[in-house]
Structures are given as C-alpha cells and as structure tokens.
Structure 1
C-alpha cells in the first residue's frame, strides 16, 4: 500500500505526455465525431457546461470551443459516438490553456485519459480498444478547478464507425419497486429501458439523492418509521429520460442493518494488517487490539487466471511470530468476530498485479473472492490497486460478489490522492459505479506531494488543510459522507505525509462539525463522515498504538 515514494510523480509525468502530430494527419483520418471543429458556430452535437464557441483563438477554421471552469464545474464537453466492439480507436484534439483533460468513458476496456497545459495550441492524443459488447463511447474534454478559460479545436476520433449516429435520450425506466427496507434504508430496483443508457438518477421525495450505474440502488441515512417516495430516470450524453413510476416505501421502526457495511459502527477505525515482514512489528491477527473496528488483511495474491485472486499466509511472517498456520489464522478471524470486529481481504498494494479488464476476469474475481470469503470467513473486500483499475469491469466484479454474499458484504477502496482528484478518474468512477454497495473510500492522504483541494488552492501533504480540502472533493463529487474515510500513516516510518493523531481528530471535527479547522473550512458539515484508516496496524504497534489509542476514542465520541 505504502511502500513507494515516487510513483505519483512518475505517474503524473506519464499522464501529461503530449503526443504531437500534424494537421494533415488529422485531416486524413476518418472522423466519427459530429461538429468536431465547432464550425457550426455552436456546440451542437456536444453536451457542454460553461462552454461556448469563439472566433479567436482557433487552431483552424472560423471557430473553436472556449470553456471556463467555475467552482466545482470543470467545464466539460462530451459527445456520445457509436463504435464497433473489439476495435481500436485514436482520439485527438488541439488544445490551449491550463490543465486540460481529454479522454473517453464506457469503452469496455481501459478508459483513457491524458492532459496537458499549453500556452499555444498543441495536440493531445490518446487511444483505446473497445470491449466485446461495446457499441458506443463518450469522449470528453474538461478543464480543472480555478483555472482560466481553455480552448479546444479540431477533434478527431478515428477508427471503424458504428454506423448509428448519435443516440437519443433514453426512455424512462420501468418497474421501479422497493426490494427491502431497514430502519435507515430503502433498497430499490427497476428495469432498464432499451437503447443507450449511461446511468440512472434516483429521486427521493422529488429531490435527486444519488446515481447508479446498474438497475439497483440503496438509499441510506433515513429516519425510522418514515415513508419516502422514489422515482428514477435514465440518462446518457444526450439527456435525461422522463421519470419512472413512483414507489413509496416505509422504513422499519428499529433494528435493521447497515447496507453495504455489515454491523460496523457509525464511525469506523480501519487498519491494515501485514501478511509479510518488513520494518514494522510482526503480529498475529489475534494480536490486533479491539480499537480497530475493521481490519484489512494485506494482501491477496494474483493467480495465473485473469482476474482471479488467492491468499497464502506468508512463511516469513509465520517464522517471525513463532509459527502460524491456516487453521490458526482462520480461528483468529473468528476471534475478531467474537470481539465485534470485521476482517476484510485487501487486493493490491504497491506490488499488486491483479487486473480486471473484461467480463471473464470480472467473473473470475468474484468467484475467487467468494471462495476465500467462504473459506476464511472474511467480511468483504478492499480494493487497493495502485497500478490502475477498470471502473466498468471492477464494478461488475464487485456487484457480482455482492449478489453472492448479500447485503452484509463490506466493500472498501483505498485509492491514492491523484486517483480521486476528478470524478473523471477511473478510481472515482469505480466508487460512483458501486455507490449502492460501497462501504468506505479510505483515500491515502500521503505519499502525494502537493494536491489541489476543492477550493482550487494547492495544499501540501502532512497538514490538516490537505486532509480536509481533499476530502471535500469526494464529498462534493457524489459520495455520501458515510462513505468517506481519512487514510493516514500510523507514523513517519509508514509513509510521507504522516500527521500527529491529534491532527486526524481535528480533521474529523472540521468535516463533521466545522470545528478545529485550519485555514480551510468546508462550506458544509458532514456529521456522518465515516472515520479514519491507517497504514498500518503493524506500524501503529511499533509506535505504541498512538494512532489507535488517540483516534478510536475520538470516533466513539462523535
């Protein structure tokens, strides 16, 4: 998870690579985009926010796109295009300005994104290959927080055409029904309309409360013994459908559960347990103190089967703790359960090579993860893939696993800070795609250098402002407060950007109550902010459990 120091910088440099070409090459390519140079004098065929067309500066012709980010709006323009399955495509555009992102979503493979900053027009270019069932993709361009107007011109999407033109807005979903209630939640399902659908909006008592990538959703944080009315719409790049039929559901009077989160407390302390030996104290799982509500076993192993995972106790760890067998490890999980703790299996880490890039790999992941859950008694899965995720197929895998395990499944994510800077990033897309079953996103607020906060200011790691201003991006980007946790190193030995545990508590107070803030103070408060995570329990043990002994009591008092 944390055993790296330069990956972010290297990744940022790679992401910023600009592939230069010539206007003649672009002109010669077959272009699947409508109004690619905005020569219609408007943004027809595009879905845009904060954008218009201008006569200067242009790359060629008479018009170009001009878009100005404002507040939390990146000033995005997108266009849905029909394509063929299992086909290669190249996307390019000429751009001018600061922090301009070009990419595509819904490719059925690895969704590409590249970016640049340029004082004059330069060409951004990227490529992708569609999946076996992909018939349309959305290409997009957007700017970034607090940056000035950017310009774009002469887009080209080259490759075999899908032959269908741009899709229309979808029809309304049908058959909306309530599939279950607790004292604080309502679960919904519906039937998808025919045609192209990018996702669904869920309305509660007439107000939009969430989105879903599939045909189910669980509304949480509700009051007991209360009736709520729901409707759902479908949307794509063209627009939003009419609302579905309405359904009214009444929450129960008490008891119930915590959908997507088992029986975890309202505020959770998560810690990673090492299934390996490094400089930190080696521990058996039963040595983990009860101050950790959720324990993530690091890590699952890749297999020769695409997408499949396995787990093997490390022989070095066994030697370090005086012997440790599979049977003892399984018994320790049961011991933690008897203490009220939950144990999940973490997939990835710095060296994790697990890849879920198609439907077959997704099925392999779900089946193998379910087998490990049954064998050892794990309560769920943590996704800590630091070498990239496929938002489409990992979401498919996790939803499949959820259908096998049921509502008690715990699903957590541990992205790096760069992975959650934009809702267009794959990890952020994954979080939104699985929002209906997602328990917590414990972003790693470390090993990051400097990053932009939600107020467009630049903050340095190792400060309260860095934590609260970056958490704000997730809270304003579509995640519920109860799905957002703060991931910090247990000590300076565990990662760059460590803060005193008291700073973690102050950050929680700032986000939950608007109290004990640094110079950054969020525009809203989030009383149900889920909690904190640390890398790792072993490093915390080496430091006298200063993190757990400080943060866990504070979480209990919130």
Structure 2
C-alpha cells in the first residue's frame, strides 16, 4: 500500500475526486474499462514458444473462428499483415464476438496479442483455469496492438480467445492474433473432433426466487455446454457454469448438462434437483424500506475529512472505504488512517460506529475500489476472505460487507465466500455491492451472476451510474450517462432480470468533483426514483411497470457530500425516505 498523503489526492490507489478509488478511467461518451480485468506486463518469450492460434491472420477466411450473430467477415483492406483481416460489426444487442478454442499446455504462461483498428475493440481469453483476462481500446484510426498475459491452470489444455466490439459502436478490425507460449499441440494438422464425453460433477451453486446457478466439471474436447431444465434446452454457454433465470419462486426443477463441439453433443449428465427460494429479497436486518448508502473515506483526498460521527443522519448505510488486501490470498484487514484523518483514533472510531448503530444506522466495511487487489479464485481464498472479513466485522463492530471489486471477481468462489461469511455473521448481515455499469448489463456477467447467486442474503446492489459513457438500457437502446433515462433504463435491467426491487439502488456521485463524469443534479436522481417507483417524472424511457419497493440511492462519498454542504444527502435522502 502507498502511504497516505494528506490533501495530495492519493491514497493506496485512489485519485483525487473520484469514486471508490479513483475511477479516473472515465472518458467522455465512451464505455467503461471494466472489462480490462487483468492486464499484465508482457514477459520475455522463450525460444521454444510458438503461436498457438490457428488462422491467426484470417488468411483462410473465418476458418477456426466463430463469430456471434454472423457479425464477422474478412476483408482485403485494410490489413495489418498478409492479405486478409477480420471485420466484425456490432448490431443491436450483439457485440460482434469472434472466438477460437486454442490448445495450450497446463500450468504455462502465454502472451495474447492482436492488432486492431476501427471501433471499440476487446481482446481476451477465458477458460484459462486461473484468472481470465481481457484488454481493450476505445477505438483507433490506425492499427494498434492489444496485449495481455495469462497462465493456464494445472489441468487446462485449451482456452478460448476472443475479440469483440461494443453495442451501438462502429465495426472493428482485427488481424495477426497471437497466443504465444509453449506448443499446445494444436497449431496444425488437427484430427477431426469427436463427440465429447458426458459432463460430470453437475451441482447447484446457488438459488434465488427466480434463478438456479449450476456448475460442472470441464470436458476434454468440448467447446461449449447445453443446459436442460426438466428435459428442455434452456441455455448454452462456453464455460462450466450457468445461471438459469425466469423460474417460479418456491418451485422444484430438474437440470442436466451436455457437452458440445463441432462433432455434436454428448449424452446428458445425471440430473440434479433444485428448489427456488421463497419470493422477496435477502439480508438487511431492520433497515428501512427505502435507504440511502454513503461511502466514507478512510483517507484524505481533498474532500472534507470526516469522522463517522460527522456523517449526515440521512445515510442509513455507511460503507467504510476500504479494507486492505493482505499477503494471504483472499484475505483482508482494515487499518484506520489515523494520521490522514487528523488523529482519529481506533477507539474513537469504534465508539462512533456504535453510536451510529444506536441511532438505527448500519456501518459496513467495503472491499475493493479501483485499485483493490483482493482475489477470490479458489476454495482456499474463499475461506480466507470469509474468515478475515468476519474477523474485521468482529473487531470494529461492522454490520456487514460491501463488495466493490472493480478488477473482476469469480462468481463461483465469491458466492462460496459470501455464503460462508453469512453463515458466520447470521441472517442480519448487511451485504451490498457496487458494480460498475458494465458489470450489470447482462445476467451472464460475473457480477450479476454473483448477485443472483446470493440473492437470498443480498441487501442491495448500488450500481455506479457514472464514469460509464454509453450503455444499453433494458429496451435495447443506447443511453448516455448524465440523464434520467440512463438511470431508469439501466436500473430496469436489474429489476427485470432477477433482483428484487428492494435490492436495487441508484449510485451517483455527490458532486462534480467526486467522479470523472456522470454527475447529475439531485433533482435528476429524485426524478429517476419517482419514475421507477411511481411512473412519474420519467424522461423518454418509461418502464412497463413501477417498482414501489425500490431500495433507494447511494453516493460516493459522504466526504464529497459534506464538502458541498451535504446538498446531495439533504435533497436525495429526504426524497428516498418519503418514497411509497
């Protein structure tokens, strides 16, 4: 961790004025960089390394590549090398994803790169067996190389590499893809695939009132998997987990999975049964029906330095930012910045937490931020996370935890960690999340999947409606941040795809200084709240129904709010508490 510098704008990965550790990744009118989950420096190649990608320059058309929704073609100009390049065009809700399954060696290091041009372009690898990676560029008029690295797991023999663009944006070009590393045995002369074996290990990893989350073991030679519910095909995925949505509450279902590749589909697995939860939301203790969340800064970045006792009474949940990662994978600790907070002692801090709780407020510890390095990618780190967060809660008297991991999270093991923590802390534990807008665009995203996996213990998801650029609303249209339509149309995605209204909050910056972009006046926040709960004060987008149980709103931060005379909490807080 970097030392805290008082009023110099930096703190352990935070930047002056920006939400949850900086968020200076914003660029006007463009999409957030949330997909850059794990971009690492490029290592030295060894003499034995080869390019494991096939048809890497698209000289054989789209051979070995599969593009979603027929979005890809090859062109002869412009090209980076050779005579052809890929051109892929996003349309509607398709992001023009083109992918290839590449053979690799287990427990090996690879460098993934590609040359891109045109609209927004993303490059990534999934199924690595360790941490999946991606990198991106907001567009380029000339060829630009994207590069990232990954390491394969101990049993990983293939990975999926892909490119894609972004919704509503221009076509992108890609050429000369490289997966440089040890020869995985698939660089040429491959035999025709055979039908893969039947998946084993199918299990239920989580349920909500309307979803069931499943996971299973990988099958050698499989390029995808098909999930069946009560004998009917319901979804197809490329990985070894899936969340089936649109289910009835308190109902039992039977599930099977089959493996697929170019040769066909395997026999279906043994069936597993799952029962969806009772209707309604998860944890929250004695929170009010409508609540306001505010992040309190455990550092001085130019905003008003506060003690917990200084936080406005309009805030029902105070998220202390942030817990610090330790050298133990998945584990965290909390260190009060006494020097940066004008001598605020641990004893005073604990007493102030107790006083807020006596006044009916909840105080929780937030894990993450822009530079947060907490990684929960296996059962051991999941246990470390649960044990360490619970220890911090016990030490400081916190009511729960906030998950604000902006550098990616593994839904399988984060679900495991949060359920273990809930078992320790009990049913009144507060569990909040602060995903970026990109994280909640689809239920297939890791953040959304995690939220649905833990819906029965989840208090509220306060998505950040800022530092985002343009995003899709639930009606398939593209909306730009800073408008009431951006708030309502994006909230609709969560409200119509599995979260209870009581688990949805609107996260906004408290002032123009608190974020790189996306600030809206409190009146706009209040208009969005009215639109969603009562159907009034809407913009051009009006939801098909109202959600009177909507939880409320969140802001970064109580400190920036105080800097502006608590204008945000006085206006939005009063409005939230007056909702039906």
Give TM class, smaller chain.
0.7 to 0.9
Change (3 A) 1:451 1:146: closer
List per-residue Cα deviations over 1:393-414 (Å, max 9, x = no partner).
Answer: x862552242242384544333
Please state if 1:309 is matched with 2:332.
Answer: yes
Of 316-325 and 74-83, deviating more is 316-325
Select 2:524's aligned residue among 478, 503, 520.
Answer: 503
Tell me the equivalent position of 1:299: 322
2:309 & 2:553 partners in 1: Cα distance? 20
Please state if 1:464 is matched with 2:484.
Answer: yes
1:262 & 1:212 partners in 2: Cα distance? 38
Tell me the equivalent position of 2:367: 347
Please state if 1:84 is matched with 2:105.
Answer: yes
CA positional deviation for 1:258: 3.4
Tell me the equivalent position of 1:403: 420
Q: TM-score, normalised by structure 2?
A: 0.71
Please state if 1:325 is matched with 2:343.
Answer: no
SS at structure 1 position matched to 2:94: coil
Please state if 1:141 is matched with 2:163.
Answer: yes
Change (3 A) 1:137 1:451: same
SS at structure 2 position matched to 1:432: helix
Please state if 1:389 is matched with 2:407.
Answer: yes
Please state if 1:371 is matched with 2:397.
Answer: no
Alignment of 1:63-78 (within 5 A): 64-78=85-99
Tell me the equivalent position of 2:123: 102
SS at structure 2 position matched to 1:300: strand
For the 8 Å contact 1:202–1:210, the answer to whether it is kept is: no
Alignment of 1:418-457 (within 5 A): 420=439, 429-433=446-450, 435-437=452-454, 439=458, 440-446=460-466, 448=467, 450-454=469-473, 457=478
Change (3 A) 1:109 1:348: same
State the aligned residue count: 527
Change (3 A) 1:237 1:61: farther
2:124 & 2:68 partners in 1: Cα distance? 15
SS at structure 1 position matched to 2:120: strand
For the 8 Å contact 1:481–1:530, the answer to whether it is kept is: no
Superposed CA RMSD in Å reads 5.0
2:65 & 2:146 partners in 1: Cα distance? 21
Tell me the equivalent position of 1:49: 69
2:440 & 2:111 partners in 1: Cα distance? 25
1:373 & 1:142 partners in 2: Cα distance? 41
CA positional deviation for 1:146: 1.9
Of 320-329 and 432-441, deviating more is 320-329
List per-residue Cα deviations over 1:151-201 (Å, max 9, x = no partner).
Answer: 434433221134477896674567667998xxx837857672452687886
CA positional deviation for 1:449: 7.7
1:176 & 1:243 partners in 2: Cα distance? 11
* Structure 2 unaligned regions, length at least 5: 1-13, 40-44
Change (3 A) 1:550 1:97: closer
Please state if 1:269 is matched with 2:299.
Answer: no
Alignment of 1:522-537 (within 5 A): 527=547, 530-537=551-558
Change (3 A) 1:434 1:36: farther
Change (3 A) 1:113 1:292: same
For the 8 Å contact 1:186–1:249, the answer to whether it is kept is: no
For the 8 Å contact 1:413–1:441, the answer to whether it is kept is: yes
CA positional deviation for 1:75: 1.4
SS at structure 1 position matched to 2:462: strand
CA positional deviation for 1:500: 2.8
* Structure 1 unaligned regions, length at least 5: 19-24
SS at structure 1 position matched to 2:96: coil
Of 499-508 and 32-41, deviating more is 32-41
Change (3 A) 1:318 1:218: farther
Of 364-373 and 50-59, deviating more is 50-59
Change (3 A) 1:491 1:434: closer
List per-residue Cα deviations over 1:292-318 (Å, max 9, x = no partner).
Answer: 343212222344545432123443588
